[in-house]
Amino acid sequence: MSAFLTSAWNFPTRVLTGIGRIDDLADVCRAHAIARPLVVTDRGLAASAIIAGIVERLNKAAVFSDVKPNPTEANLTAGVAAYRAGGHDGVVAVGGGSALDIGKCVAFMQAQSRPVWDFEDVGDGWTRATSEGIAPIIAVPTTAGTGSEVGRAGVITNEATREKKIIFHPAMMPKVAIEDPELAVSLPRHLTVGTGMDALAHCFEAYCVDAFHPLADGVAIEGLRIVDAYLPRAAADSADLKARAYMFAAASMGATAFQKGLGAIHSVSHPVGARYDTHHGMTNGVMFPYVMLANRDAIAAKMPALARALALPSADFDAVFDWILALRKKLDVPHTLAELGVREADAKAIAADAARDPTAASNPHRLSVAEFEALTLAAIRGDLGGR
């Protein structure tokens, strides 16, 4: 069979969106035979009114919140232990990408006997898994960034190797995602911006991947347009429910689109986050223009359609590049990795890990370790080639 125009397409789970949709949670759990849910969230949300309200809605629910911003194997192990000890029959994952990823991995790993690293999203590793007994998952995002609520994977940090690993299995797809914009109104501005940068990077990198998937391309372009229109509004007014609802949609759209793949923005962000515990989305925002320049020759032909969708002054690479710089500045995204604490001395090690990251394989221009090192140094120093 010819590889030309050959692909395989999947689209995500059922999404309930709108103000007050969290009130549907108990009915959704019952519909999926979840009677004793483990509510998985992060430490910051554990004592919040959001979690208190969810526990009140669900009978016999327990809460697990030992989740770092960049979740680790130790967090996962503790979550699986809590799930088994409580005799739970499903997971309700609530929060940002970290909580959703751990929740999904808990639901998956509580049915496994092999180490979690055996299920890294490389090749067909997921086929090693025991499918029977994987718990149903309901996802309730409170941030608009990762799109983990409609994804079949979770990102876990291996602290021994200081690497982020993508753990994948089709059954990790949540049964239902509930996107209630009222749950995001308490999100601080810097987290609104950081998570929004993640959604932006997902849409942009997916669009740029050289693969045949016009459905994902259309979703990605619309997602970029939504982020452009609504992320500044959400950052300026946390109670702008229309902006919050649209940003939830953009996050889910980014995760839908990136089944095509991602690229070097994520390839570098993953090892930076694993070493420095930086916010993943904000790290993506920093890396954006440097990766664009590294990929310029490979993505230039895709920029006119994107520029027209964004109503930019001209339909070319430079217009899109200037748009990214202006948006970052408007939202106070740091310009350099140095501002996140990244040191030049670590550039070589970051580059080596970036080249091994699964996202490197789908970057439009296949970067060598030396090119990744040059890219990382440019981002640390703020070197945009004189631009």
What local confidence, expressed as pLDDT, does residue 331 receive?
98
Q: Is residue 4 pLDDT above 80, yes or no?
A: no
Q: Is residue 9 pLDDT above 90, yes or no?
A: no
Q: Is residue 12 pLDDT above 90, yes or no?
A: no
What is the pLDDT confidence band of residue 1, given thresholds at 50, 70 and 90? very low
Measured distance CA(260)–CA(309) in Å, rounded: 20
285-338 per-position pLDDT tens digit = 999 999 999 999 999 999 999 999 999 999 999 999 999 999 999 999 999 999
Yes or no: say if 246 and 232 are a contact pair by the CB < 8 Å rule: no
**Rounded mean pLDDT of 173-202?**
97
Comparing 31-40, 53-62, 239-248, 329-338, which segment has the lowest mean pLDDT?
53-62
203-256 per-position pLDDT tens digit = 999 999 999 999 999 999 999 999 999 999 999 999 999 999 999 999 999 999
Asked, colleague to colleague, whether 14-184 and 189-381 share their fold, the answer is: no
Contacts of 274 (CB under 8 A, 6+ apart): 70, 157, 158, 162, 163, 164, 353
Measured distance CA(241)–CA(181) in Å, rounded: 6
Residue 219 structure tokens: 């979703």
Q: Is residue 7 pLDDT above 80, yes or no?
A: no
At the second CATH level, the architecture of 14-184 is 3-Layer(aba) Sandwich (3.40)
CATH superfamily for domain 189-381: Dehydroquinate synthase-like - alpha domain (1.20.1090.10)
Domain-by-domain residue ranges, the chain?
14-184, 189-381
66-92 per-position pLDDT tens digit = 999 999 999 999 999 999 999 999 999
